[in-house]
Amino acid sequence: MRETAQCIEKAIKAGKRFQGRAFDNIPGIIKNIDIILNTRLLALIVVPGGTWRKAPSRQMKGDIDDGCMRAIAFAIKGIDKFNAYVGKLW
């Protein structure tokens, strides 16, 4: 995630435009990051690793089910602690 955040941050600062909603949404998320961090209903949703990404993807402890762009914005701002809903599959 950190490498992705660095690439996106560098591209945004350089004024580069790529196709995709991340470049449209992440600056707005960064602008409102305090509100997002303090609103429980905007917490990321994380499920056990391997739920969505199967091998040969790099296995992680958890997969982000909702909130990937928020997580990238947090990484860009250097925020490494935030609320998340952690799901468990049954």
Mean pLDDT of 66-82: 92
Tens of pLDDT, residues 16-65: 877 778 888 999 999 999 999 999 999 999 988 776 666 666 677 788 88
What's the whole-model pTM score?
A: 0.80
Q: Distance (Å, rounded) from C-alpha 64 to C-alpha 20?
A: 18
Cis peptide before 56 (omega within 30 of 0): yes
For the CA atoms of 86, 84, 76, 70, the dihedral, rounded to the nearest 10 degrees, stands at 90
The domain containing residue 79 runs over which residues? Answer: 2-86
> Among positive and negative, which fits the CA dihedral 17, 64, 67, 79?
negative
Q: Please state the domain count of the chain.
A: 1
